[in-house]
Amino acid sequence: MTGASGPGRIQTLEVWQDGLKLAEDVYRCTARWPADERYGLISQARRAAASIPTNLSEGVGRGSPAEIARFGRIALGSAYELHTLLHLAHRLHDAGPAPDDAIFTTLDSLTRRIASYVAYQDARHQRTKGQPK
């Protein structure tokens, strides 16, 4: 790590680690979906999954609690998007995971933890507002 806000800092963040693992799982899962969805659901689900840890990382890289929370909210939106895409794939092709599959359990847990992380960063931002720099 190159300092408190260096690139290595993100690697210690559990929601980032779990987001990265989820993205890997989504890539593996979507590899089994119908080939005609390559440029549709597969691409969109993979982008949404990759966006979760990517946005968490970008927020940490920007450093301030307000920016961390803002990018955390974007990651949260991507998690909700992914949830919908997985359901849609299951409904359309019986190809996506079933709603009781482990990937949904992981995604639901991660979504709750990102929401808590955002709330924590918002509270940090409120505490630091108005304090001299």
94 burial via Cβ count (<10 Å: 0-12, 13-18, 19+): exposed
Please report the pLDDT score of residue 111 as a whole number: 98
Cβ-based neighbours of 57, under 8 Å, separated by 6 or more: 10, 16
Q: Are 90 and 81 in contact (CB under 8 A)?
A: no
pLDDT of residue 14: 96
Ordered domains of the chain (ranges, CATH): 7-128 (1.20.1440.60)
Check residue 95 and give its pLDDT.
76
The angle subtended at Cα 8 by Cα 49 and Cα 72, nearest 5°, is 40
> In this predicted model, what pLDDT tens digit does every residue of 11-47 receive, in sequence order?
999 999 999 999 999 999 999 999 999 999 999 999 9
103 alpha carbon, distance to own chain's centre: 13
pTM over 0.95: no
Residues in the chain, pLDDT under 70: 1-7, 130, 132-133
